[in-house]
Structure 1
Amino acid sequence: MTPLVDIQNLSKSFPGVKALDGVRFDLMPGEVHALMGENGAGKSTLMKILAGVYRKDSGQMMLDGKAVEIDSPAHAQALAIGIIHQELHLMGHLTAAQNIYLGREPRRMAGLFLDEEQLNRDAQALFDRMHLALAPTTPIGELTVARQQMVEIAKALSHKSRVLIMDEPTAALNNAEIDDLFRIIRQLKSEGVGIVYISHKMDEIQRIADRITVMRDGAYIATVPATTPMPEVIAMMVGRKLEQAEKTIPDTSANEVLLDVRGLNRGRAIRDVSFTVRRGEILGFAGLMGAGRTEVARAVFGADPIESGEVHVRGQHIRLTSPQDAVQAGIGYLSEDRKHFGLATGMDVESNITLPSLKRWLKWGIFLNQPAIRTISQQMVEKLRIKTPSLTQTAKLLSGGNQQKVVIAKWLVQDCEVLIFDEPTRGIDVGAKSEIYKLLNELAAQGRAIIVISSELPEVLQLSHRVLVMCEGRITGEVRGDEATQENLMALATQREAEAPAAVH
C-alpha cells in the first residue's frame, strides 16, 4: 500500500538552531501514527512543514507516492492536509457552521448574498458524518472546549482532508470527552483518513495509536508498534531510563500547620471545604473536572471571593481581598493556565522571575537594582535547572517544563512557604515531568507546604503524601498510605450523595 505521507531525510534550521536533522516519517491510509518526543524534539516543526507553515531546507516529501513542495497552509489544505492546533483558532461570536466555512461561504444570487441555509446544511452533513449531535447554528462561545475541538475537526474535514494532524487534542478534555474524541478518530480511520497524533499521555497513545515514531533533539530515533512497552518508548524519548524512585511518605504529623482552611463556601462551587497542610507535606487534590478543586485554590489565593470561611497561615487569620493579600501571607499559586495567568510570555526570563517581588529590588524607592535582580535570577536558573540560553530569553520561547520552572522561581524569590500547583505538568513532556516531580519533593523537604491539583490520578498518587478527593464542590474523603489507589480515588470522586466530612486534618 502506498503511504499517504512519506518523508525522507528532512532537515530544517533556524538561526543558531538545527531543528530537524535527517528526519523520516510515514503515514498510511486509515492509520493513527503517534509522534512522540520531549518538548524541543522537533515534532511541531516537522508537522508545521507538512502543514505548510514552514519550508523545509532539504529532504523529500511525498503524498500518495508523488514528490511535493508545500509552500503555504493554503497549499497544504488544497493537498487535503489538515491540522488541529493545541490552541484552537475559532471565533466565539460566530456559529459553528460559520466558523467551519469562514471565507468560503456558499452564496446565491450570483454571489451577492450569503446562503445561510446551504451553509448550515453543509455543516450538518459534516456533523452527521462524525455522528456528532451539534446544531450548526450554535455560537462557538456557548460550546465546551471539547465541542469546539469537534468543530475544528469538522472544519478540517470540510477541506476533504485525508491527512489530519492532531496536536495534544485531549489537553483540556475530561474522560468522557476523550472517549467521544476517540470514537470520531476511529470513524475517520474507517474512512481511510490518516491521523498524526501528538501527545505526552502514554495511556492514550496505547489506546488509539497503531504505530509510534519517536524523535529526540531534532532527529529520528525509531518507529515501533503502539504495543511497545512504554518504559522502552520513554527511554527512546529521553535517551536514558527514567529512575522511578521508591515513594517514601515522611511523618509530618508533628510539623507546624502552615495552611489551615476552615469552612470555605462559595455557592455550589465550594461547599464547606476544610483542610490543613503542614510544613514538609505534599497534599494532593483529586476529582473529576468541575469538582471544585481549582475553585478552592483560587479562593485560597484570593483570586475569587468567598461567601464564608477562614484561611489561616502559620496560625494567623488572613483577610483575602486579592491575590496580593495571599502573596504577602506567603501563598503562591501556579495556575493550570501558566501562559495566561503565570507568565508574561512576551517578557524575558529575568523579568518574569522578579516581577512579583519588584519592590525588593528598588534603590532609594526609585531605581531598580539591576545587579541584584540579575544575581537572584541566575541563582534561580541554576537552582531549578532552567534550560535557557540566557536571562534575556523571551519566556514564550522556552519549553513547557522550563516555563513552569520560571513560574516556580518567581514564587521562591517571593519566599512563599505555601505553594499551590494546579495541573503542574499539563502539556509537559515525560522527561520534564520527572524533573518537576523531583523539584516538588525537594521543595517539600525544604519545609514548604505543597498542594498539588491534578486530573491525572497516577500523578496525584505518585506525588502526594495524602490525597483529598472532591465531588460537586465538597470534600468526599481522604486517602493515604495503602488506601491511596486509583480505584479508591475514583470511588470518592463520584460519590455524589454522601456527606463530606466537616474537616480533614
Structure 2
Amino acid sequence: MQDIILEMRGITKTFPGVKALDNVSLKVRRGEIHALCGENGAGKSTLMKVLSGVYPHGSYEGEIHYEGQTMAFKGIEDSESNGIIIIHQELALVPLLSIAENIFLGNELAEKGVVDWPKTYQRTFGLLAKVGLDAQPSTLIEKLGVGKQQLVEIAKALSKSVKLLILDEPTAALQENDSQKLLDLLLEFKAQGITSILISHKLNEISRVADSITVIRDGAAVSTLDCRNQDISEADIIRDMVGRDMAHRYPHRSPNIGAPLLDVSDWNVWHPESIDRQMIKNINLRVSEGEIVGIAGLMGSGRTEFAMSLFGQSYGRNISGKVHLRGKEIDVSDVRHAVNNRIAYVTEDRKELGLVLDETILKNTTLANLHGVSHHTVIDDTRERCVAEDYRKALNIRTPSVFQKVVNLSGGNQQKVVLSKWLFAQPEVLILDEPTRGIDVGAKFEIYSIINQLADEGKGVIMISSEMPELLGMCDRIYVMNEGAFAGELVGHEASQEKIMSMIVNT
C-alpha cells in the first residue's frame, strides 16, 4: 500500500466573485517530489496556502488529511508545528538582519528571554552546511544574491524540523546554475526522506526531479501524472495546463524591419557606490523600426544595469555616451525626459518597481501618461476608465473589473498591466527586462504575441532574458553581453545557445 503523507479532499476556495479552487483533491506520497503545474491564476498557490494555514480552516470547504489525521490549521503556526513549511515566491526575509537572525526569527534559541548567540551561530553553521551555502551567519541578507537568499529560506525551513516542504516558484528569479543547485538540494532532501511539493513553470526542471505531477487548470485538478512509471513529455504537461496542444512555443512572425530607429553609442556607466568600478563599457547598440533585439548574458553581466542607465539614468553615475532617435540626439538624463522621448522600460521586478500593488488596474494603466487622461491637470474619470478597459480587452487581462487591485492578479496578468502602462505612454522603443519571468507557458505565448504585434507596428523592442531559447525564438538579432561589454552580435537565424555561450566564455 502506498504511504500517503498528505491527502486533500474536495478543496473549494471562493473569493468575492471568483471561485479560485473547485473541488480539488491531491494525494502526495511520503518522500516524493510532487510537482504542481498550471497557468498563472489556475489555483496552485491558493491550494498551498489552504494547506499551510495561510487561509485558515473555516475559510474553505473540504478536508486535509496529514499523516493519517484530519487537520484544521488555524494559521501558519499550526502547520509549521506539524512539520509543513512553505517558502513563498516572494522571499520573507528581513534585509537588514543577519542570516542567523533571519533563520531563527520568531523561533529564537533563548533562555529566560535572552538569545543564546553562540548556540544560534553554531546551529546556523550546521544548517548552512546542509544547504550548501558558504557564508557567515553574521552576513546581512541584503548582501546576498537572490539564489543565496533562497538557500537561507530553505535553511530556515530545516531549522523547524520540516517533514513536508512546499516551494512556490523557487527558481523563478534564479540563473540556471543556481537553479540546478537548488534542484540537486531537493533530490538530497528526498534521499533523507523529506517530502516536497514544487510549484514551477519550468517544465524542464519538473521533468528532471518530479516523481508525480498534478496539473491544475481554472481552479480544478485535471490530471495527475506518475513520472516513475511512464514517460511524461513537456507536450503532455502543456496540453493539460492550457487545454490545447502548443506545437509552437513562439508565435510565427514575418519580420518587416524598417529604417534605423535607436542608436546608442559609446555608452559608459560607473557603479553608483564603488568609485573605481565601471559597470558598462563602451556599448554601441542599434535598433531599427519593427526589430526585436535581444541581449543575452549571465547574471552579473550588466544587462539590467545597461537598460536602467539608458532609461533616464535610473542606475549608475558618471554616465557618458549619446542616444539618437531617428537620427536626432535625445535627452535621457532622467526618467521624465526618457519617457517624453518615447523610451519605455518594463522592469524585471514588476512587484517592486513596475506596479503600485495596492492600486487598481485602472490607476496603474494610466500612471505613466496622466496627460493622456487629464484636462488642465484634472483627471477625466470617464476617459481613464475607457483607456483601462481598452487595454484590458486588447491584452486579455483576466479580471472581472479594472477596479481590481493588481496585487490580487496572477503574475501573467500583472505583467500585462505593466505592458499596458507603458503602451499607453506611446513609446517608440520598448525595453523589456525578463518580460516572462515567473509566468506560465500559456501566458508567455500571449506576451510573445503582444511583443510581435508591437514590432509589426514599427516599434523597436529590446528584449533582455535569461532564457536563451526565448531569445532565440523571438529575436531578429542578439547582442551577447559579458562583464559590462558586448562580446559579440548574432543574427537571429544564425544564433544558437552554443554560439552565445562560446562568446561569453571566450571574452
The TM-score normalised by the length of structure 1 is 0.93
Separation in structure 1 between the aligned mates of residue 457 and residue 346 of structure 2, nearest angstrom = 19
Worse-superposed segment, 443-452 or 203-212 = 203-212
2:298 is the counterpart of 1:292: no
Separation in structure 2 between the aligned mates of residue 286 and residue 148 of structure 1, nearest angstrom = 24
Separation in structure 1 between the aligned mates of residue 134 and residue 333 of structure 2, nearest angstrom = 43
Provide the residue aligned with 2:187 in structure 1: 186
Worse-superposed segment, 133-142 or 283-292 = 133-142
User: For the Cα contact (< 8 Å) 1:299–1:306, is it kept in 2?
Assistant: no
2:107 to 104, 110, 129: 104
Provide the residue aligned with 1:250 in structure 2: 255
Spell out, residue by residue over 1:451-490, the C-alpha distance to the aligned partner (whole angstroms, 9 max, x if none): 1100000111111011111011111111124421111112
2:37 is the counterpart of 1:27: no
Separation in structure 2 between the aligned mates of residue 482 and residue 432 of structure 1, nearest angstrom = 25
The TM-score normalised by the length of structure 2 is 0.93
Code of the residue aligned with 1:272 in structure 2: it is: N
2:287 is the counterpart of 1:277: yes
1:317 to 329, 333, 358: 329
2:82 is the counterpart of 1:75: no
> For residues 275 and 131 of structure 1, do their structure 2 counterparts lie closer, same or farther at Cα, with a shift above 3 Å needed?
closer
Separation in structure 2 between the aligned mates of residue 50 and residue 221 of structure 1, nearest angstrom = 19
Code of the residue aligned with 2:299 in structure 1: it is: M
User: SS of 2:198's equivalent?
Assistant: strand
Spell out, residue by residue over 1:14-64, the C-alpha distance to the aligned partner (whole angstroms, 9 max, x if none): 222222112111222221111000111111111011111113533222112
Code of the residue aligned with 1:356 in structure 2: it is: A
Worse-superposed segment, 460-469 or 387-396 = 387-396
User: SS of 2:403's equivalent?
Assistant: coil
User: For the Cα contact (< 8 Å) 2:10–2:61, is it kept in 1?
Assistant: yes
The residue correspondences of 1:336-351 to structure 2 (distance < 5 A) are: 336-351=348-363
User: For the Cα contact (< 8 Å) 2:345–2:431, is it kept in 1?
Assistant: yes
Give the deviation of 1:437 after TM superposition. Answer: 0.5
2:330 is the counterpart of 1:326: no
Separation in structure 2 between the aligned mates of residue 357 and residue 16 of structure 1, nearest angstrom = 31
1:359 to 371, 376, 387: 371
Give the deviation of 1:243 after TM superposition. Answer: 4.9
Separation in structure 2 between the aligned mates of residue 130 and residue 368 of structure 1, nearest angstrom = 53
Give the deviation of 1:88 after TM superposition. Answer: 1.0
> For residues 465 and 367 of structure 1, do their structure 2 counterparts lie closer, same or farther at Cα, with a shift above 3 Å needed?
same
User: SS of 2:427's equivalent?
Assistant: coil
Give the deviation of 1:249 after TM superposition. Answer: 4.9
User: SS of 2:205's equivalent?
Assistant: helix
User: SS of 1:469's equivalent?
Assistant: strand
Separation in structure 2 between the aligned mates of residue 289 and residue 475 of structure 1, nearest angstrom = 14
Separation in structure 1 between the aligned mates of residue 269 and residue 294 of structure 2, nearest angstrom = 21
1:241 to 234, 239, 245: 245
Provide the residue aligned with 1:2 in structure 2: 3
User: For the Cα contact (< 8 Å) 1:286–1:493, is it kept in 2?
Assistant: no
1:420 to 431, 437, 456: 431
User: SS of 1:250's equivalent?
Assistant: coil
User: For the Cα contact (< 8 Å) 1:332–1:416, is it kept in 2?
Assistant: yes
Give the deviation of 1:416 after TM superposition. Answer: 0.7
Gaps of 5+ in 1: 497-505
Separation in structure 1 between the aligned mates of residue 254 and residue 495 of structure 2, nearest angstrom = 12
User: SS of 1:420's equivalent?
Assistant: strand
Provide the residue aligned with 1:207 in structure 2: 208
Give the deviation of 1:141 after TM superposition. Answer: 2.2
Code of the residue aligned with 2:355 in structure 1: it is: L
Provide the residue aligned with 1:37 in structure 2: 38
Q: Percent identity?
A: 43
Gaps of 5+ in 2: 271-277
Give the deviation of 1:191 after TM superposition. Answer: 0.8
2:462 to 442, 448, 451: 451
Give the deviation of 1:65 after TM superposition. Answer: 2.0
Give the deviation of 1:261 after TM superposition. Answer: 0.5
User: SS of 1:307's equivalent?
Assistant: strand
Worse-superposed segment, 43-52 or 142-151 = 142-151
> For residues 263 and 30 of structure 1, do their structure 2 counterparts lie closer, same or farther at Cα, with a shift above 3 Å needed?
same
Separation in structure 1 between the aligned mates of residue 477 and residue 254 of structure 2, nearest angstrom = 9
Spell out, residue by residue over 1:329-383, the C-alpha distance to the aligned partner (whole angstroms, 9 max, x if none): 11111000112222122211121111221123332x1422222222222222222
User: For the Cα contact (< 8 Å) 1:2–1:65, is it kept in 2?
Assistant: no
User: SS of 1:376's equivalent?
Assistant: helix
Separation in structure 2 between the aligned mates of residue 399 and residue 246 of structure 1, nearest angstrom = 22
User: SS of 2:413's equivalent?
Assistant: helix
The residue correspondences of 1:485-500 to structure 2 (distance < 5 A) are: 485-496=496-507
User: For the Cα contact (< 8 Å) 2:64–2:71, is it kept in 1?
Assistant: yes
Separation in structure 2 between the aligned mates of residue 130 and residue 175 of structure 1, nearest angstrom = 17
Give the deviation of 1:125 after TM superposition. Answer: 2.4
Separation in structure 2 between the aligned mates of residue 38 and residue 478 of structure 1, nearest angstrom = 34
Code of the residue aligned with 2:461 in structure 1: it is: I
> For residues 444 and 392 of structure 1, do their structure 2 counterparts lie closer, same or farther at Cα, with a shift above 3 Å needed?
same
User: For the Cα contact (< 8 Å) 1:12–1:20, is it kept in 2?
Assistant: yes
Give the deviation of 1:394 after TM superposition. Answer: 1.3
User: For the Cα contact (< 8 Å) 2:253–2:452, is it kept in 1?
Assistant: no
Separation in structure 2 between the aligned mates of residue 175 and residue 494 of structure 1, nearest angstrom = 16
